[in-house]
Structure 1
Amino acid sequence: MAVDRRYTERESPSDRRVSTVGRRHGEHMFHRLVDLGIALSAERDHEKLMEMILLEAKEIYRADGGTLYLVTDDEQGLSFQIMRNDSLDIAMGGTTGKSIPFPPVPLYRDGAANMNNVASAVYHNRAPSNIEDAYEEKSYDFSGTKKFDETTGYRSKSFLTVPMINTEGEVTGVLQLINARDDGDGTVPFQPALQPMIEALTSQAAVALENQLLIQQQRKLWDSLIEMIAASIDDKSPYTGGHCQRVPVITKLLTQAACDSTDGMFAEFTLNSDEWYELHVAAWLHDCGKVTTPEYVVDKASKLETIYNRIHEIRTRFEVLRRDAEIECLKAKLDGSDPAEADRVFARKVAELEEEYAFVADANVGGEFMNDADVDRLKAIGGRTWTRHFDKARGLSPVEAMRAKANPPAKPPVEEPLLGDLPEHIVGKYNQGELYNLGIRRGTLTAEERETINDHIVVTLKMLESLPFPKKMRRVPEYAGGHHEKMDGTGYPRGLVKEDMSIPARIMAIADIFEALTAADRPYKKAKTVSESLKIMSFMVKDRHIDPDLFALFLRSNVWKDYADQYLEPFQIDPVDIHDYLPAAELLTEKAG
């Protein structure tokens, strides 16, 4: 009969039973480690993740205390992240909300690696340290530990300190356990047999932290990018500065009010953290398409403005006509005409020119509605002629020269209209004709320029829909692209009706309008007061342009007031009775309370 030499030489029956128990314990710990690895990879909260790492390590060794350090951003120290001590009832850092009052452990002193502290030494050595009794250890300075013990009456004895090394081979943190306990809660050394479990745990933890930090860095980069885009759009025009940054404020205030509602149609409305972030991104990028909108169109503060205000050219022509009238007066006197009569004729012409110029200049501002009579008068004034004596085909840019070659200007001297719609005024899709622009009925924008302004939302949708948003952010284009839609389907760019739009998209429409009405930095209008803005919005509700239920919530929740107190000028904040602006009951849904 063959003898199993492995059994006779290495194990007695009793040893074999112990070995079996050990294997079962090892299998249990293995499965536990696997489960923990899955849990670590799934945990998204940074503070909970670090707590999970430390608490699990404490549990494996039944350690009384423990600390988790992370390497500081400047890689000069180990910052305290989590501290636990069961005997002293200490719980700081992590989700406790209690800050740890200790400075980072320095990794270097006087330019050399700090090998006096066990945690910093483990960082530099990239290897664990298992100390049976700190008071007898000569390799490290435990004077701080001993001082802590004197103060608290504690006895720090066994220490296990393990580096956390990520997939790049970098030490990202250090895990330290204090005072392993036996079944009777006595302090014992940390068993070397279990140390590989802790090392495996720290390895998993380092990878989990690395992944989470990478995700956080990517999100930080993404947030910085979208805020940079919004800031660049605001900086692009001195007249719309802050719009892209203020609309998210109103959006979030009104969304929070909807989430806080306990009755009515918003009682069931809520957003989780992913949906809040989705809305955050959409709000910041709602006008990203404006990066393609020409500055002079966005900034057009007067009807004749392109890169500059062309009223100066027209004023010069009036000056020429006045000079011509003065020359005619002097010539008449030299020819023997009655000087007094010549002066009267000159004065009459000057008064007429001054009055006509005043009319043209006022029309250029765009503050009043232009009726048919006003447009006809502009044409009559524009019918005056003046004599050009210099060649306007000289001194042009290459592009202007090409346009002049296609439509050569008449050679001087030539009579030209005082206000002209000339071939050179057609630039691409834009008509820069002087009569055409001065005849704008309301505001300062031509139909083509207004179309360009409106097209920013088309470009916004095109830009956002081209981005590979993850599933949890797939509604960003819908939220961002709907702030110019109207509840009756007359908005743009898609002509959506209320039922086609989500609540966040409808919220952004209200936020965009209220910010635009109350903005004090627009070139084409004066800053409106809160009451004026709410009155206009109440009319928009009646016209079915904005959501009546959300506007009622906007009023009742004081979102308008919270925003005004923080962002508006004092003169804009006037007395408001919200009942003057609340939508009529028949405009609200049946679910509204």
Structure 2
Amino acid sequence: MPSSESRTVARDAAAVLSREQEREEHLSRLIQAGLAMAAERDHDVLVERILLEAKALGRADGGTLYLRDEAGTALRFAILRNDSLNLAMGGSAADPVTFPLLRMETPDGRPNYHNVCTAAALSGHTINIPDAYESEAFDFSGTRRFDAGTGYRSQSFLTIPLRNHTDEVIGVLQLINAMDEHGTVVPFSREIESLVEALAAQAAIALDNQTLMRAQRDLLDALIKIMAGAIDAKSPYTSGHCERVPAIAKLMAEAACSATDGPYAEFGLDEAEWYELHVAAYLHDCGKVTTPEYVMDKATKLEIIHNRIHEVRVRFEVLRRDAEIAYWRTVAEGADEAEARATRDAEIARLDDDFTFVATCNIGGEFMSPEHMARVRCIGDRPWVRHFDRTAGLSWQERHRQAECPPPPPPAVEPLLSNRPDHRVDGYDFGEIYNLCISRGTIAEEERQKINDHIVVTQRMLDQMPFPRHLARVPEIAGNHHEKMDGTGYPRGLRGEDMSPLARMMAIADVFEALTASDRPYKKPKTLNESVRILSLMVQDDHIDPDLFELFLSGGVHTAYAEMFLQPEQVDGVDVDAYLRIAREARARRRGHAP
């Protein structure tokens, strides 16, 4: 038989081996916990993992994690767990923590060292209490009341401050009732204290990183919304565009994610991709910051900063007054009064008719015929007499422009409407006849090009932004919403297969918002059915994705958007089945099959 001494040596060796194995297990668990915490992105899951790992390392029956509030004046309960009481609040638990904040100052404004948690936060030191009922250093009256109400006994406490990378205390981890292998409550050993402190250090870094990431995301969100809001606020007539387009794009993405058959049956977006769409949608028109307001807001053909029809009307008023003066002059000179009156009335009727025509042309429309353009020029050639100096009261830029072709001194005979050299400014032609003869709408060709150039500026701006990897597709999604499936879009002339699904969604969202918008000065808002009909024509012309148009209808995007943003009078019936047939026929044509 082995001697007593040899048995003792064997037991000691086994104990040493057991402790070494336990240390290795603790170290392994500590490493794995650190890796898991560093990778966790969900805040509730992270705080729960921190507390559960700390409880496991410390063999604790219960625990609480407190986080400092934004003002830094209190600790708030983030999560609470107690095995004996089967108590779970905060974290992923359905029940939130309902306990009040722990104030860092007493009512008289002094540091609150009475509470063990606030004391640990204020001092930055770990506090290890073997038995709270024997401690006189801290106020455990609240703990005793809790115990009295639950029949529990909160005995050993380990309270550890969480320090971030700047050595600031951002929270407190507290474990309650360490348990030995027999289930008996014991004090937290120094070895356990060191292990939990190591875990707390990693937890603080993980929490701080998550806070910093959330702050960066909040900052980016604020910046893009400020940018979108500035663009919308720049013009009262496009206010809301940068808010409404993201709503349509997200509705379309949701419809695609919900599809169970068809081309988008396997489509899905993870959290990062949803955020990528969010950022891209809000920044899709960021280049409009460079578009002049007098182009964006041009409600009539003669509008620059103001509607110049008022100047034209004054010239007509002058000619009408001239007709009245001519009538009285001829009568005073002995001419036949009836004949003079007839001449005056004919001239006034002509002026009234000509001004009404010019004013109607100024409003713009779908099409202006060559005959109407010729009449504008004919009216414009009519002379009138200017009696005041046209160079008086001008800015130095206006005087500089007129220096190349100075106006004659008054009295001067000038055309009623004109295209003068000083009307050409920075690549724009503000000539009255030129603008009144715009064939469609109110925007001249160079103005339209400037508006279209906003997408080039958008692409340039987004390409210069150092987006992180998870936002790398923002320039593509945001910058290609004016491209078309057949390659006739701008500015890159991409075809459908060259664009991502999200970029093709943005194209539909941008068009549909513009069609239904009720805040445009140059057009009436179209009804829901009119807007869907125009989208169907674009599908037939191979301009927008027929598969997405089908999802737009079958997923109820059009009705969901109408409920959110359209005026009641805009919401009319839509023959969804008829438009779905158009989408399917267009898809068949794109794939080379007979419809």
Q: Normalized against structure 1, the TM-score is what?
A: 0.95
CA displacement, residues 410-443 of structure 1 (integer Å, 9 cap, x when unaligned):
2222111101011111111101010100001110
What residue is the counterpart of 2:143 in the other structure? 145
* Aligned pair partner of 2:47 in 50, 61, 68: 50
CA distance in 2, matches of 1:159, 1:247: 54
- After superposition, residues 335-374 of structure 1 pair within 5 angstroms as 335-374=333-372
Question: Partner of 1:295 in structure 2?
Answer: 293
Amino acid in structure 2 at the alignment position of 1:70: L
**Cα distance, 1:402 vs structure 2:** 1.4
Q: Which runs of 5+ in 1 are unaligned?
A: 1-10
Alignment map for 1:108-507 (pairs within 5 Å): 108-109=105-106, 110-507=108-505
Separation in 2, partners of 1:378, 1:188: 99
Cα deviation, 1:265-309, whole Å, max 9, x if unaligned, reads 101111111111111111110000000000010000000000110
User: 1:485 aligns to what SS in structure 2?
Assistant: coil
- 1:586 partner amino acid: E
1:353 deviates by 0.5
Superposed CA offset, 1:376-429 (max 9, x none): 111111110111122212222121121111222222221111010111111111
Q: Distance in 1 between matches of 2:109 and 2:202?
A: 32
> Which consecutive residues of structure 2, in runs of 5 or more, have no partner in the other structure?
1-7
Corresponding residue for residue 550 of structure 1: 548
RMSD: 1.7
- Identical aligned pairs, as a percentage? 54
Whole-angstrom distance in 2 between the partners of 1:368 and 1:45:
53
Query: Which residue is equivalent to 2:586?
Result: 587
| 1:443 partner SS | coil
Supply the distance in 1 between the matched residues of 2:258 and 2:10 (Cα, whole angstroms): 68
What is the CA-CA distance between 1:118 and the residue it aligns to? 1.0
Aligned to 2:78: 81
Find the aligned partners of 1:51 and 1:464 in 2 and give their Cα distance.
38
Distance 2:109 2:357 in 1: 77
Letter in 2 for 1:195: E
**Distance across 2 between alignment mates of 1:226 and 1:507:** 20
* Cα offset, 1:341, TM superposition: 1.9
Q: 2:87 aligns with which of 86, 90, 104?
A: 90
State which drifts further: 430-439 or 540-549: 540-549
Work out which of the residue numbers 18, 32, 35 in structure 1 matches 2:15: 18
Give CA deviations for 1:433-482 in whole Å, capped at 9, x if unaligned. Answer: 10100001110000000000100000000000111112222211111111
Once residues 239 and 92 of structure 2 are traced to their aligned partners in structure 1, the CA distance between those partners, rounded to angstroms, is 39
Could you tell me how far apart the structure 1 residues matched to 2:117 and 2:405 are? Answer: 81
**Structure 1 runs, 4 residues or longer, greater than 3 Å off:** 11-21, 589-592
Which residue number corresponds to residue 68 of structure 2? 71
Higher deviation after alignment, 87-96 or 428-437: 87-96
Aligned to 1:28: 25
Distance (Å, rounded) in 1 between the aligned partners of 2:247 and 2:33: 40
Distance in 1 between residues matched to 2:20 and 2:175, nearest whole Å: 25
* SS of residue matched to 2:52: helix
Matched-pair contact (CA < 8 Å) for 1:541–1:583: no
Higher mean displacement: 116-125 or 390-399: 390-399
Q: Distance in 1 between matches of 2:10 and 2:535?
A: 88
Other structure's SS at 2:458 match? helix
Which segment is superposed worse, 142-151 or 551-560? 142-151
Report the 3-state secondary structure (helix = DSSP H, G, I; strand = E; otherwise coil) of the residue aligned with 2:67.
strand
AA of the residue aligned to 2:96: S
